[in-house]
Chains A and B, each alone.
Chain A
């Protein structure tokens, strides 16, 4: 269970989060939607403790995320960054197996490599990709390697920041299915940011819409179409006219 209570965050004079309240029950998939630049990525980073909120509380299973044993806390997480954030000094397979090659989860190199190749296969990449360097991959391939890295150590809680951006429709479908599988089969808790409405419907148990620094609407994915919320309606139908201004 992840809970955010009245989370605020500013960068300089820019007030990005203005009181975010959100809770994600264990083993469910939450999708966060919202305009570009509204603070979705910042919200995820706050939960991970990469960005410290100015005020408000964030707890995972009742424990505050900014106190206690950070290593043990982070060992439960996997994160796909919006830009992939692959280590460009390491070949692909060592990126994927990063956690398995050092620290508490360390295992023999051959075994780690095998796991890496298996994870790469799950995101639709061939074993030949394993020995390339991130700079040799296309944008969408990098994204999928980032995804493979996020799920490599089979974390309990997984964050995906725009997992299907830059992928072709078929590959996007594969990734959507994979995320759904991770939640239903492995019982993981997932938080996904996406702009792709078909992804939302494929991945989400619950949806939250971030606008103006607060959660404007949240509810089960089945209520997406008859929410009666003008902001949400404008957003999911991609209309230029409505309460959300096009220039932000």
Chain B
């Protein structure tokens, strides 16, 4: 009990949480590394992969599309209002396009996928863990990392960039619709400005971010699902942790990738 009163207690708490975080990073990295290593070792479960592709890619389209549409529209309004302060309203098309492609498309798309997919993966795998289905897989000579994790991670890594690309287009279209209907832009001029100013790298960098975010989302969903505690409470906690961790990691990775891509 005397330890609880010692002046070093706050320091010890900080130390503990730092150590805990580092250990966590180590475990997640190992998990991710093991997942990737299964990519190079058969057998592969093609059906599981296709199923995951539909679940993660196709069924996320509406959410990602709506997010992009409204974001593009709001972005156009904001940039118009901001640009008006120094008579630069004409930058709306190019800034909307660059902002969507480089930053908002991948980040908001990634976060929406995190909410939708990390949670459902964690809940599904967590429930399988709690009801001994993961143990059953092992006894049936099927590696859960190959059968459950790899298909989902691979599907998300491939599908999220496509979602981001579609989201970019829809977001730019949202900006265009607002620009033309509310801000008196000429429809053809707006489009021409967009196309003239948008560079390939603006789009490609966003797609690469999307792939990284997809990987993060599925990996966190699988990691927390596989390590779910017992009972319904354990699954609930796993689901929550997966979404939180995926979201924070997406924002952190976004910063790191932006630094890498655009400050050289």
Range, interface on chain A: 20 to 34
Contact among B43, B128, B138 with A74 in the assembled complex (CB-CB below 8 Å): B138
Residues of B within 8 A of A86 (CB): 133, 136
CA distance A98 to B45 in the complex (A): 13
Contact between B135 and A75, CB atoms less than 8 A apart: no
A137 at the binding interface (Cβ < 8 Å)? no
Closest to A41 in B: B132
Kindly state whether residue B131 has any CB partner on chain A within 8 Å.
yes
Known: A81-B132, A85-B131. A71 touches B141 (CB 8 A): yes
> B43: which A residues are within 8 A, CB to CB?
102-103
- CB pair B135–A99 under 8 Å, yes or no, is no
Q: Which residue of B lies closest to A79 (CB)?
A: B139
* C-alpha spacing A63/B164, complex, angstroms: 52
Distance in angstroms between the alpha carbons of A48 and B138 in the assembled complex: 9
Residues of A within 8 A of B140 (CB): 74, 98-99, 149
B186 within 8 A of A: no
Q: Tell yes or no: A160 within 8 A of B by CB.
A: no
Asked if A235 lies at the interface with its beta carbon under 8 angstroms from chain B, I say no
Docked complex Cα distance between A50 and B141 (Å): 12
Q: How far is the CA of A49 from the CA of B141 in the complex (A)?
A: 12
CA distance A78 to B133 in the complex (A): 14
Residue of B nearest to A77 (CB): B139
Which chain B residues border A75 with CB–CB below 8 Å? 141
Q: How large is the interface on B (under 10, 10 to 19, 20 to 34, 35 or more residues)?
A: 10 to 19
Closest residue of chain A to B45 (Cβ to Cβ) is: A102
Asked if B133 and A85 sit within 8 Å, CB to CB, the answer is yes
B142 at the interface (CB under 8 A from A): yes
Chain A residues with Cβ below 8 Å from B139 are 48, 50, 74, 77-79
Q: Give Cα A99 to B140, complex, Å.
A: 6
Complex CA gap A149/B133 in Å reads 13
Q: Encode contact with A along B113-149: 1 for CB under 8 Å, 0 otherwise.
A: 0000000000000001001110111111110000000
Given A75-B141, A104-B141, verify A45-B45 contact (CB < 8 Å): no
A56 contacts partner chain B, Cβ-Cβ < 8 Å:
no
A85/B132 contact (C-beta < 8 A), A102-B43, A102-B45, A103-B43 known: yes
Listed residue (B43, B131, B136) with the most chain A CB atoms within 10 angstroms of its CB = B136
Chain B nearest CB from A50 CB (Å) reads: 5
> Which residues of A are found within 8 Å of B131, using beta-carbon distances?
83, 85
CB-nearest residue of chain B to A152: B140
A81 touches which one: B45, B128, B135, B141 (CB < 8 A)? B135
| Residue contact A103 to B136, C-beta cutoff 8 Å | no
Q: Assess whether A79 is in contact with B136, with CB atoms less than 8 Å apart.
A: yes
B143 (CB) vs chain A CBs: closest residue: A71
Tell me whether A87 and B141 are in contact in the complex, defined as CB-CB below 8 angstroms, given that A102-B43, A102-B45, A103-B43 are known contacts.
no
CA A78 – CA B45 in complex, angstroms? 22
| 8 Å CB interface, B22-49 against A | 43, 45
Q: For residue B146, give the distance in angstroms from its CB to the closest CB of chain A.
A: 10
Q: Which residues on the A side are within 8 Å of B133 (C-beta)?
A: 85-88
Q: Bound complex: CA of A74 vs CA of B137, how far in Å? A: 11
Q: Give me 8 other A-B pairs in contact (C-beta within 8 A), A83-B132, A103-B142, A149-B140 excluded.
A: A48-B138, A50-B139, A74-B138, A81-B136, A85-B133, A86-B133, A99-B141, A104-B141
**In the complex, the 9 A-B pairs of residues with the closest C-beta atoms, listed nearest first:** A85-B132, A85-B136, A79-B139, A81-B132, A74-B141, A50-B135, A98-B140, A85-B133, A99-B140
A-B contact pairs, 6 of them (CB 8 A): A74-B139, A78-B139, A81-B132, A98-B142, A102-B43, A149-B140
Instruction: Give B contacts to A, CB under 8 Å.
Output: 43, 45, 128, 131-133, 135-142
